[in-house]
A = this chain, B = another copy of it.
Amino acid sequence: MSEPIIVSLLDADFYKFTMGQFVLKRFPNVPVRYEFKNRTKRVLLGKFVSEEDLRKELDAVRDLRFRAEELEFLRRIETNGKRLFSEDYLLFLKDLELPPYDLKHNGETIELSFSGSWREAIYWETLALSIANELYYRSAMKKMTAFEKDAIFAEGTVRLAEKIRLLKENPEIVFSDFGTRRRFSRLWHDYAVTSLAAELPKTQFIGTSNVYLAMKHGLKPVGTMAHELFMAAAAISGDGDEQIRQSHNDVLKTWREEYGEDLSIALTDTFGSEFFFNDMTEEQARNWKGLRQDSGSPTQFGEKAIQFYREKGVDFRQKTIVFSDGLDINTILMLYRQFNGRVKCVFGWGTNLTNDLGLGALSLVVKVVEANGRGTVKLSDNPAKATGKPEDVHKYKRIFGYAAGEYKECKY
């Protein structure tokens, strides 16, 4: 392979940049640590991905710099009728070199982490995930015959065509590509996004989370915030229960101040959506454009959200719910039928959109595990997605009144 997997630092999720600017401004000097984790235990990733290949690709990322035209693309992005990214932030990006990685490869498992200043280390997440995925699939296909490889891509194309057919049959379904981190490969991702953009109107395929592909194909870059923002902010806030609990709403407040209406889609499950709905004020319910659902039952979440808005006296038909947890076309159709006309539905379609070629997907994540020397915690509405040291998780569950993703202690 002559060309590296990552050829542009924009080949990452848009939320890395919206969060990146936020972090640069609000948390400029916080040391953090991110860890790579393979949740798919049955696959010993180190048997597929060699240390040499992985180092080569990660090193290639560290050699990359933002190019003038890439910064110019960011410069031209507008939200709320004005520039989204400040010149200070673009200057920072211009000189950015990603911090070193720490890799231990024992032939079976891969220990990979990124330590550094939050403002710099934040960009590694989706880049590293795209690399690990692509190296895995290259390895999985290495022993295939030419025809077997053809058949894989053909299967992917047929599945993509079936998705497009169903989307054309349901033109009111609105979605964007969220599949950068778990894509089969950069080229396949590009092919899928190109095909979706060519076949569907922009009112239906509204954009992509991948900034590089957004630039390349004239699409809207889509995204707001990730769990890490709440996780790190909580760890940074101190050790006290009240500080930790309060940190979540502080993030919402400052984010809304920073980015206004356009980027006010709140991620709801960092410490469980039960807490989220209890914590969000009526004013926030009114001011925030909508909510993102990323774990637990999407149907239950949607109904709870509608009930939440109703009790706050907010017209939920004007609110957006972004569903982004493990979607496939059937789930999308089901959620669309359930919620269309009641709330504005948007689907953030990830793995199954960019990695559905019949080979099975890995569940790889890069999570912030430490901020300011304290361990971070994510609870989520799916206990399997919880992260953090057991004692920290226990503590956070107590602080956030977490009941394992169930809503029984939640008034909504």
Instruction: Render A154-189 as a binary contact track against B, CB cut-off 8 A, 1 for contact.
Output: 111110110010000000000000000000000000
Residues of chain B within 8 A of A151, CB atoms compared: 157-158, 160-161
Contact B161 A154 (CB under 8 A): yes
Closest to A146 in B: B198
Contact B147 A198 (CB under 8 A): yes
Tell me which residues from 391 to 406 in chain A have a Cβ below 8 Å from any Cβ of chain B: none
Residues of chain B within 8 A of A153, CB atoms compared: 154, 157
Q: Name the distance in Å between A195's Cβ and chain B's nearest Cβ.
A: 4
Q: Name the distance in Å between A57's Cβ and chain B's nearest Cβ.
A: 28
Residues of chain B within 8 A of A158, CB atoms compared: 151, 154-155, 158
Complex CA–CA separation, A258 to B305 (angstroms): 85
Residues of chain B within 8 A of A155, CB atoms compared: 154, 158, 161
Q: Name the distance in Å between A180's Cβ and chain B's nearest Cβ.
A: 21
Tell me which residues from 298 to 347 in chain A have a Cβ below 8 Å from any Cβ of chain B: none
Contact A195 B161 (CB under 8 A): no
Tell me which residues from 80 to 133 in chain A have a Cβ below 8 Å from any Cβ of chain B: none
**Counting CB contacts under 8 A, is A282 at the interface?**
no
**Counting CB contacts under 8 A, is A53 at the interface?**
no
Closest to A150 in B: B157
Complex CA–CA separation, A387 to B199 (angstroms): 46
Instruction: Render A4-38 as a binary contact track against B, CB cut-off 8 A, 1 for contact.
Output: 00000000000000000000000000000000000
Q: Name the distance in Å between A9's Cβ and chain B's nearest Cβ.
A: 29
Complex CA–CA separation, A151 to B147 (angstroms): 17
Interface centre among A154, A155, A160 (most CB of B within 10 A): A154
Closest to A195 in B: B147
Complex CA–CA separation, A151 to B198 (angstroms): 14
**Counting CB contacts under 8 A, is A145 at the interface?**
yes
Complex CA–CA separation, A164 to B146 (angstroms): 13
Residues of chain B within 8 A of A157, CB atoms compared: 150-151, 153-154
Q: Name the distance in Å between A21's Cβ and chain B's nearest Cβ.
A: 36
Residues of chain B within 8 A of A199, CB atoms compared: 145, 147
Contact A198 B145 (CB under 8 A): yes
Q: Name the distance in Å between A136's Cβ and chain B's nearest Cβ.
A: 22
Residues of chain B within 8 A of A150, CB atoms compared: 157, 161, 195
Complex CA–CA separation, A148 to B157 (angstroms): 10
Complex CA–CA separation, A153 to B156 (angstroms): 12
Residues of chain B within 8 A of A147, CB atoms compared: 161, 164, 195, 198-199
Complex CA–CA separation, A372 to B300 (angstroms): 81
Instruction: Render A194-235 as a binary contact track against B, CB cut-off 8 A, 1 for contact.
Output: 010011000000000000000000000000000000000000
Complex CA–CA separation, A286 to B131 (angstroms): 66
Complex CA–CA separation, A195 to B157 (angstroms): 19
Complex CA–CA separation, A158 to B147 (angstroms): 10
Closest 8 CB pairs of A and B: A154-B157, A151-B161, A154-B154, A147-B195, A154-B158, A158-B158, A150-B157, A147-B199
> Would you list 17 pairs from A and B whose C-beta atoms are within 8 A, ordered by A residue?
A145-B199, A147-B161, A147-B195, A147-B199, A150-B157, A150-B161, A151-B158, A151-B160, A151-B161, A153-B154, A154-B154, A154-B155, A154-B157, A154-B161, A155-B158, A155-B161, A158-B158
